[in-house]
Structure 1
Amino acid sequence: MLLQLLLCLLALFFPGLAAAEESGGCCPHGKLKVSGTQLLGSDNQPVQLRGMSLFWSNFPEGSPFFNEQTVQCLKCNWHADIVRAPMGVEEAGGNKGYLADPATEMAKEEAVIDAAIKNCMYVLVDWHYTSATAYPDKAEEFFKKMAAKCAGKCNCLYETWNEPTQVDWSSTLKPYHEKVIAAIREQDKDGVVIAGTPTWDQDVDKAADDPIKDKTNVMYTLHFYAGEGSHKQPLRDKAAAAIKKGLPLFVTEYGTTPASGDGTPDLAETQKWYDFLDENKVSYINWSISNKGEQSSALQEKTGPADVCKDDKDTTSGAFVKKMLRAKQPALPQGCAAPAA
C-alpha cells in the first residue's frame, strides 16, 4: 500500500517518471505516438521536440561528439530534449561509412542511443546520406539492429532516409519506406518513424497526395536552410498545405545558413521558421554539433565534446539556437545539476 502511494505521488509531481515506468526508459513526455498531424506524449497532449543534430558519424569533424559527454551537455546546457545521431552510410572523402565498416559506425550510433536513454532524452536514429540511390537491404539490416536495441524504450525515433534527392515518391520512396518500416516493426512495434521526402525533403506535397497507408506512428521529413533562397515563404506555404491535407511533419534537420553550410546565418528568416513551426507544433532539430569550421556548425573550430557545455565556444549560429532552446525550456531539465555560480 505504501509503495502504491509513493508511485501515485511520483506520478503527480513527476509525470515524466510515471510515463517512464509505463513505457520503459525515461523520457520528457513518455512514449510518443502520432495522431493526425500531431506528435503526442503518453498523456495524449501535443508534443513539440527541439534539439540538435550531430554531424556525419564517419567524418572526423563529427565522430568525436558521439558520446555521453556531448549528449549530457545538450540536455543540461542547451536544454535540448532530442539529439539526432546521423549514421554516415556512404564512404566520402576517404571516410568509411556503414556500407564499408558497419561495426565501427554501429558502435558510435549505439553510444549515442545509450547516452540518450541514460540521460532521459529522445534520440533520432538517422540513416544519413544525400543521394538518389536506395540501399533497402542495408537499411533493413541497420534498423532491425537499432530497433531491437530500442524496443521497450520510450527514447528512440527512426529516420529512414535523410535526404532523398531527385527520387519519385510513389514509385520508389514510398515502397522503400514501407519495406524499412516493416523491418523496424519486427522489433519495435510502435516507435515513431519519420520518412524522407523527395528533393532533399522539400516535396512534402508529394507525400501528402499519396501518404503511406496502414502504418501507424509515421511522420514525414521537412528540411530547410534559412539562408537558402528557395527555402523561405514558398516552402513554408508548401508545408502548410501538406499539414492542411493531414500530413504530420517533423523537421529532422534545419540550418540558419544557406544549404551549403556556409554563408552568413540568416537569423531573421530562421525566426520566421520558428514562428511557423511553433504555430503548427512541428518539432525541429538544428544542424549541427561539429567543429567543421563552417557557418552552420554550432561549435567553433578545434573544439571537442568538453566544449559543448561552454557558451564561449559557440558560433553565431550555435549561440542563436542555444538561446532559443533555453527560452523554450527555461527550467533546468530534470536530472541536471545547477551550473556553478
Structure 2
Amino acid sequence: MKTHAKLLSVILLIMLGFSFQSSAQQSIVRKYGQLSVNGNYIVSQFGDTVQLRGMSMFWSQWMGQYYTEQTLTWLRDDWKCTIVRLAMGVDEDGGYKENPNELFKIIDMVDAAIKLGMYVIIDYHSHHAHKNPELAKKFFSTMARKYGKYPNVIYEIYNEPLQDTYWKSSIKPYAEQVIKAIREHDPDNIIVVGTRQWSQLVSEAAEDPIQDKNIAYTLHFYAVSHGQYLRDEAEKAMKKGVALFVTEFGTCDYSGNGKFGAEETNEWFAFLDKYKISWCNWSVANKKETASILLPVSEISHWSETDLTPSGQFIRNELILKNTPLLKRKK
C-alpha cells in the first residue's frame, strides 16, 4: 500500500507540474480577444492598445515543410510569437492560381493557430492580385465563411502591389470587392490592405481611405534599403488617421539578401514601438539568404542557436524580450 501511495503521489506531482507549465503562459488571444481598429491603433476587445509581434512564413509552395503545427508550436513557445503570417503564394509557379490545393495548407495552419491561441494573418501573397479579383473573392469568401467566427484571424488581401499599380484605379477597387466578399461572412475581423510600390506608399491610401470599419494598411520595409524617408511616409499616413500594420519586413536590403542590418532594424523597432505598430518578420525559411531565420538545416522545429542565421538570432531575441511580458500568467 505504501508503494502504491508513493507512486500515486509522484503521478499527482507530475500532473501538477504539467498543469502549472501549461498555465504559466496565457494565450494571447485569450488576453486580447476580438481585435478592432481605433484611429491609428489596433485595440483589444477590452480597449487596450495591441502590438503584435511574430514571424511570416515564406511562400507556401516553396517552403511548405514549415507549414505544420509543430513549427507553429515552436514559434509560439520558444520564440514567443503572438502572431504568424501565412504567405500563400498565388501567381508564381505552384501557387494557388494553378494549384488550388494550396488552400488546404493554409486551412491546416489556421486551425493550428486557433488551437494554439495565436493570431494569424491569412496572406494572399501576390504582386498582381487586382488582375484576378474573382479568384481572390472566392478564396477569401471561403476563409471568411470558415473562420469569421474566430477572433484569431486577420485577412491580408494583397501582399505587395507593384510600383505601377495605382491606388485609385486598381488597388482600391480590387480591395473594395474583396472586402465585400469577406464582410458577407465576417463583419468584424481586421482586414489589411496592400499599398502601392510593394506596400510602401501608405499616404496615398490614407488620402483616399476605404470606407469600412477595422481596416489597416500594409507597410513593408527592408531595413538596409528603407530608412527615415519611409518612416516619414508612415507618419504622414498616420496623421491622416489610418492604422498601419507591418505584415512583412527584413533585416537586410530589399532583395532579401545583402548586409544584415542590426542597427538599421533597431531604428525601425524604436519607431514601431513608439506607434504600437504590429509586425511580422520575413521569414521562416532555410533559403540561403540574409532574411531567412534558418541556416540550411532539415529540422522543422526545436532549432538550437547554431541553427539560426544572424537575422534569426536577432529576431528571436527581440521577440523574447518584447513578447514574454505579454504572455506571463496573470496573478
Q: TM-score, normalised by structure 1?
A: 0.86
1:275-326 CA-partner distances (Å, limit 9, x unpaired): 001001111110000111111001111333124x433211100110110000
Amino acid at match of 1:220: Y
The structure 1 residue matched to 2:150, chosen from 153, 158, 180, is 153
Amino acid at match of 1:320: F
User: Does structure 1 conserve the Cα–Cα contact (< 8 Å) formed by 2:121 and 2:156?
Assistant: yes
User: Does structure 2 conserve the Cα–Cα contact (< 8 Å) formed by 1:76 and 1:333?
Assistant: no
Q: Which has the larger Rg?
A: 2
Amino acid at match of 1:242: A
State the partner residue of 1:53.
Answer: 56
User: Does structure 1 conserve the Cα–Cα contact (< 8 Å) formed by 2:91 and 2:128?
Assistant: no
How much is the aligned-residue C-alpha RMSD, in angstroms?
2.0
Shift of 1:334: 6.4
State the partner residue of 2:3.
Answer: none
Q: How many residues in Structure 1 have an aligned counterpart in Structure 2?
A: 306
User: Does structure 2 conserve the Cα–Cα contact (< 8 Å) formed by 1:132 and 1:167?
Assistant: no
Shift of 1:47: 0.2
Q: TM-score, normalised by structure 2?
A: 0.88
User: Does structure 2 conserve the Cα–Cα contact (< 8 Å) formed by 1:55 and 1:288?
Assistant: yes
Shift of 1:44: 0.8
1:108-257 pair list within 5 angstroms: 108-131=105-128, 134-165=131-162, 166-213=164-211, 215-228=212-225, 231-257=226-252
1:226-272 CA-partner distances (Å, limit 9, x unpaired): 011xx100100110111111111000000001111111211101000
Shift of 1:27: 3.9
State the partner residue of 1:3.
Answer: none
Structure 1 unmatched runs, 5+: 1-12, 21-25, 336-341
State the partner residue of 1:319.
Answer: 313
1:96-137 CA-partner distances (Å, limit 9, x unpaired): 1101111x2011101110110010000000000223753200
1:158-193 CA-partner distances (Å, limit 9, x unpaired): 000000002110111111111101101111111100
| Matched position secondary structure for 1:146 | helix
State the partner residue of 1:70.
Answer: 71
| Matched position secondary structure for 1:79 | coil
1:3-18 pair list within 5 angstroms: none
Question: Is 310-319 or 29-38 further displaced after alignment?
Answer: 310-319
Query: Does residue 1:273 correspond to 2:268, yes or no?
Result: yes
The runs of at least 4 consecutive aligned structure 1 residues that moved more than 6 Å come to none
Identity, % of aligned pairs?
43
User: Does structure 2 conserve the Cα–Cα contact (< 8 Å) formed by 1:303 and 1:313?
Assistant: no
| Matched position secondary structure for 2:301 | helix
The structure 2 residue matched to 1:35, chosen from 38, 51, 56, is 38
User: Does structure 2 conserve the Cα–Cα contact (< 8 Å) formed by 1:50 and 1:80?
Assistant: yes
The structure 2 residue matched to 1:98, chosen from 96, 107, 112, is 96
Query: Does residue 1:330 correspond to 2:324, yes or no?
Result: yes
State the partner residue of 2:90.
Answer: 89
In structure 2, distance between residues paired with 1:329 and 1:121: 13
User: Does structure 2 conserve the Cα–Cα contact (< 8 Å) formed by 1:198 and 1:204?
Assistant: yes
| Matched position secondary structure for 1:73 | helix
In structure 2, distance between residues paired with 1:303 and 1:178: 42
In structure 2, distance between residues paired with 1:164 and 1:220: 12
Shift of 1:157: 0.1
User: Does structure 1 conserve the Cα–Cα contact (< 8 Å) formed by 2:87 and 2:123?
Assistant: yes
State the partner residue of 2:9.
Answer: none
Amino acid at match of 1:114: D
Residues 232 and 181 (structure 1), Cα distance of their counterparts in 2 relative to 1, 3 Å cut:
same
